[in-house]
Structure 1
């Protein structure tokens, strides 16, 4: 690579006026690297690190400012510097020892599946519907896999690590056993791969944006804060921190990642309000059953 990256950017921007800025930068990166396997590997790894820790940083700062305690879901449980540091070390180790290898082998898979790295990018409309599909599929996978991890030995030997912190904070989003990291990570990367296998029509930029959105969702769900402007206050079926914090606090229920419908439909919502609602429904059901039985007995006696 004789030219610097800035030189490559200058040439690409000058010769590709029909492309938007993001497309020009994307093309500049791949032209400069001149090695698609390396380019994709570095792109994915550094995007993951920058987005994940970049999103965690604001929550770490907020945890230090007493003003925000009014929106802390568990205000008496503020993570200490020691807890933040121990969690950071574990997450970094996981990123380099568990997640790095699949990232470096991703480009050859892209080639086999026909996942495009060329420009221009797909339309925003197409990517939007793909994001929606991936969110729904990942949420389904996460619900059932997460629920399984709360069963017997799966919890004891795998998922228990993630529940070390009953009051989660941003960094704990990926604080988990390697088996859990790979299993739940499949929901994020696996479904785009399956989608590409069947459609042969997916762009790597779409996957990159989807991973960024998923990282934002995961970190925010573990933030421990519920603001008036939190997304679930505008989208009722969105889960978010208020939903997932109850899971960590009570160690059971609220298994889904992004949406509330699986927990609502299958009656696995967490917290005292959900428990009270279940008990009320059970009592009403039993009363109705008893009333029906007495009515049937009364009709039989009258004969």
Structure 2
């Protein structure tokens, strides 16, 4: 029988740890064990008790699909849609609750149901026509740089420090590309659509032209790919967690709400909604995505404190010139 050899060797063999060989599970299983996902899960669970529940769920998915490109593509796209609209939904509900209006930064501009629906339609079109093809081609790129899909999963610590690096890299890319998109012709032909809403709301985080989605998305996708190409030490699960956190950050930054418990009160260098909302209202400054340091270092911070500082500097310069 083909399955008398434990599939555990597929998880411990180093040749599987750094490559996309998870679909090899299917070829080591009896044909009848892969006719449903849960049969694949049961077979893997019996022969790999050292794996935790989520690792068995993961391995069973790749074994059941038998095609890594399909397995990764479907999982990536579904994850993106569930996280994006799932995280946007609470902000849509909050917009309809008057008690939260006092926390709305531009509280005279509450998005209507029609605005929310029109935004959702364009975002969905963008997801299926622009992001879906990119997600489909992600697996070959990840395979090329040596990103792993194998189990067991990496440690929480290794994923945490890698994601911290991705936040820094993406923020740098986002600052410079976003600032470039505010240059006349690029703003008029590409970025202007994202500024349709001067008072942003969560669902509008990815309301943008296809070109902008690709330009700014490069920082999110290629930061992990570059890291993996250099280190040869990254799991695709880390990529998924990074994408989820980046989506949370982008949606929350567009939420338009400033709470006493907002993250920037505890991490002063964090950008957040108060930082990005001003960008949409004033159409200039505050170009960073996650952190404030690029805006502070290059004097593009748009805040009452920054404007006061610039006024004082101009006055001081004028007094010296007299």
TM-score greater than 0.5 by the shorter chain: yes
User: Aligned equivalents of 1:227 and 1:14: distance in 2?
Assistant: 49
Q: Which residue of 1 aligns with 2:162?
A: 130
Which aligned pairs between 1:278-293 and structure 2 lie closer than 5 A? 278-287=310-319, 289-290=320-321
User: Aligned equivalents of 2:188 and 2:303: distance in 1?
Assistant: 22
Per-residue CA deviations over 1:45-72 (Å, capped at 9, x if unaligned) read 0000000000000000000100111111
Q: Is the 1:250–1:271 contact (alpha carbons within 8 Å) kept by the matching residues of 2?
A: no
Per-residue CA deviations over 1:66-118 (Å, capped at 9, x if unaligned) read 01111111111000011001000000000000011111111122221111110
Q: Are 1:65 and 2:97 counterparts? A: yes
Q: Are 1:217 and 2:249 counterparts? A: yes
Give me the CA root mean square deviation: 1.4
Question: For 1:20, which of 52, 55, 64 is the aligned residue?
Answer: 52
Worse overlay, 22-31 or 146-155: 22-31
User: Aligned equivalents of 2:312 and 2:58: distance in 1?
Assistant: 56
TM-score (norm 2): 0.87
Q: Are 1:80 and 2:112 counterparts? A: yes
User: Aligned equivalents of 1:17 and 1:228: distance in 2?
Assistant: 46
User: Aligned equivalents of 1:279 and 1:27: distance in 2?
Assistant: 60
Q: Which residue of 1 aligns with 2:81?
A: 49
Q: Which residue of 1 aligns with 2:172?
A: 140
Q: Helix, strand or coil: the match of 2:287?
A: coil
Q: Is the 1:196–1:202 contact (alpha carbons within 8 Å) kept by the matching residues of 2?
A: yes
The Cα shift of 1:3 comes to 2.4
User: Aligned equivalents of 2:224 and 2:129: distance in 1?
Assistant: 23
Q: Which residue of 1 aligns with 2:41?
A: 9
Q: Which residue of 2 aligns with 1:264?
A: 296
The Cα shift of 1:286 comes to 4.2
TM-score (norm 1): 0.92
Q: Helix, strand or coil: the match of 1:257?
A: coil
Per-residue CA deviations over 1:235-289 (Å, capped at 9, x if unaligned) read 11000101100000101000000000111111111144422221112322443x4
Q: Are 1:205 and 2:232 counterparts? A: no
Which aligned pairs between 1:219-258 and structure 2 lie closer than 5 A? 219-258=251-290
Number of aligned pairs? 290
Question: For 1:120, which of 123, 143, 152 is the aligned residue?
Answer: 152
- Structure 1 runs of 4+ aligned residues shifted over 4 Å read none
The Cα shift of 1:28 comes to 1.3
Q: Which residue of 1 aligns with 2:192?
A: 160
Per-residue CA deviations over 1:194-218 (Å, capped at 9, x if unaligned) read 1111112111111111111100000
The Cα shift of 1:16 comes to 2.1
Question: For 1:196, which of 218, 228, 238 is the aligned residue?
Answer: 228
Q: Helix, strand or coil: the match of 2:39?
A: helix
User: Aligned equivalents of 1:62 and 1:15: distance in 2?
Assistant: 47
